[in-house]
Amino acid sequence: MEENTSVRVLCTKLLLPHKNEPGLQWLIGSPFFPPLTIISTVRCIHTLSHSDAPDLLKESEDLRALLLKGFDVTGAFVIGKSDSESKVREAIDAARRLRKLLSNGGGDLENKEMIGAYVDLNSKTDIRLFVSKSASSTSMEPVNSVVYEDKPEKFVWETGCLLRCEVPIRFPVYFPVNNPIDAEKIYWRATEAVAAKLKDPQVVYMVETIRKTSAEGPKPLILRGAELDFHTDVSNIKLLGKDAQGSDPKCIPCAHFCLKSKPDLQKFSAENADTIQVSVLLNNSEKSLNIAPVAEYVPALEEARLLFVSFKLEVLCYAAKDIPVMYAVSKLIIPGLVDQLYSMKNLILPNLLTEHPQLRPYHFNPPGVLHPITVIYELNYGESEMKQVEIRKSLHLRLGLPFDRPLLRIANVLDLSTTNFGGRSDSIRKGSTFLKDVHIGIPSSGVSGGSMSLVQGSYEYYHYLQDGFNDSGWGCAYRSLQTIISWFRLQHYTSIDVPSHREIQQSLVEIGDKDPSFIGSREWIGAIELSFVLDKLLGVSCKVKDFRSGAEIPEKCRELALHFENQGTPIMIGGGVLAYTLLGVDYNEASGDCAFLILDPHYTGNDDLKKIVNGGWCGWKKAVDSKGKNFFLHDKFYNLLLPQRPNMV
């Protein structure tokens, strides 16, 4: 092996051990990336009952449903308590066998390079990386350098695109009442028949772009089953230039259906990725249409029962933009449909005759994971029922996601239906008229050597005079509360609408805190009232901290930083008759210098982002500015409302 063997890491860091326990993680790569590239890691959560060895059959069933086609297992990461290279060899061997199971035995996997990684929990040393060149290798070569990609999202979504395909399935299962086991056999055969039909020479696949910047977008491409190549390995497919053209399907790259230019400010993400729609058109009339249809009658020999099994396949795949569309369909879309079809079969068969589960695939792109994933949920159960909660907990464990954030609920699904090319915020695109995340891109705080701790997640900016409602002079705390509730909505902790001033007042009357005359009044509210409303409407608990003087607040900067790091929720600051929303702090622990990121609800203009930022309505405020003026007045009593993030998945 060459001396300068290098591994490229796209994920910001390999997953930390869960609760500092030994374990195994699978390294995920893509055949469309340079060799020895790691895009993510997923935990191995299934082990054999008699040992700590991975249960590869269960792991393959889970990962076949979870990972998009276009991503694969490229190695293994061992977390141990003794420095043992033999464990790494065993893990690499397991990764090879797992990859073979995921590929259904196809492709030349014996000679694929695989990555092995190891960290010793006792010594706390850095992660050690190795490369095994082939299954027959008797030794592993150490990796000399690790390259961390500066802009991994840009790399992933400039290199590739998404392909999506939906196929509704409806199986008639006709079986003898006295021999119900036949129903499983019939359903099995029906599944096999559909899988075979997807590769039938008569089947037609229509390829078109989902997102067009004008009516002059690329015309749909028709691919027939007889034209598809199911035998060439993905690694042997000849990539085309992004500008390649021609009528031959082998010469049309996926880039043909991708947008040629995008706004400079557009964020690189799965939601903004180029997406290609693939539709399946089944030709059930192979003979001339001039022939009259023939109905065949086969009488049942004994009492029989008919049931229908219905569900929808919804597959998402990742492909290099340079790959010919023909191969993207034959090597990604069709295998993805077949794998999901069998995953559905495995979930339906155990209860085929007793309860027909309502299954549906959903696609997510949780924070910290560079690529989308697919999850099949059973809709017979509500999201708060224990079975669904346990499924999500298992997914959070596998993906290294926190257990106090609802990141894989149906409200979090990846939205590929439209694209934000007009420069409007996501909240406008999803139906809201309020500006979102207005602090992004504002000037720096001016704290030298400080460490910033910011709100985690998105929020909407609520301020005076919105919705044509005049609350100038008394509604600032109401607006701060609305911003806080919008944060809980956008993080999917709740689905309630952001309440109006009247609805906030109604809530306080209902819990007995205010008299009925309070409804419709212009009375101020403070931190205590906000905590009551958050508890009633969202079930959210809050901490309320009181300060005798504004001079005490900068002394608590470290405590506020810990809130943003651990809870991540916006904070309401109340002082006298004024209220603000705190979105973060910038704090130099050595010098004590600090600044506060203030979102000011007293703004009365229209929602012009430039005007808001330039006017200082969202920006950093030093405790004492350059002119010696105190932002927090020393002769005022202040209180801070710190909403706590609910512990839920």
Q: Which residues are catalytic?
A: 476, 600, 602
Residues 557-582: b if buried by 16+ CB within 10 A, e if exposed? beebbebbeebbbbbbbbbeebbbbb
Give the Cα separation of 5 and 143 in Å (integer). Answer: 5
Give the Cα separation of 2 and 242 in Å (integer). Answer: 32
Report the SS3 class of residue 119: strand
User: Is 445 in contact with 598 (CB distance < 8 Å)?
Assistant: no
Give the Cα separation of 97 and 602 in Å (integer). Answer: 62
Give the Cα separation of 75 and 116 in Å (integer). Answer: 6
Residues, the chain? 649
Q: Which residue, 555, 563, 561, 553, is CA-closest to 636?
A: 553
Give the Cα separation of 514 and 492 in Å (integer). Answer: 29
What residues contact residue 566 under an 8 Å CB cut-off, 6+ apart?
none
Q: Quick count: other Cβ atoms within 10 Å of Cβ 441?
A: 9
Q: Which residue, 496, 499, 495, is CA-closest to 507?
A: 499
Query: What sign for the dihedral angle of Cα 224, 225, 231, 234?
Result: positive
Distances (CA, A) of 478 to 516, 523, 531: 18, 10, 12
SS3 sequence, 258-319?
Answer: CCCCCCCCCCCCCCCCCEEEEEEECCCCCCCCCCCCCCCCCCCCCCEEEEEEEEEEEEEEEE
User: Is 37 in contact with 73 (CB distance < 8 Å)?
Assistant: no
User: Is 39 in contact with 30 (CB distance < 8 Å)?
Assistant: yes
What residues contact residue 559 under an 8 Å CB cut-off, 6+ apart?
none
The C-alpha angle 611, 476, 602, rounded to 5 degrees, equals 25
Q: Under the phi-then-psi rule, with left for phi > 0, alpha for psi from -120 to 50, and beta for the rest, what region is 444?
A: beta
Q: Which residue, 123, 142, 121, 120, is CA-closest to 131?
A: 142
CB half-sphere exposure, 286, CA atoms < 13 A: 4
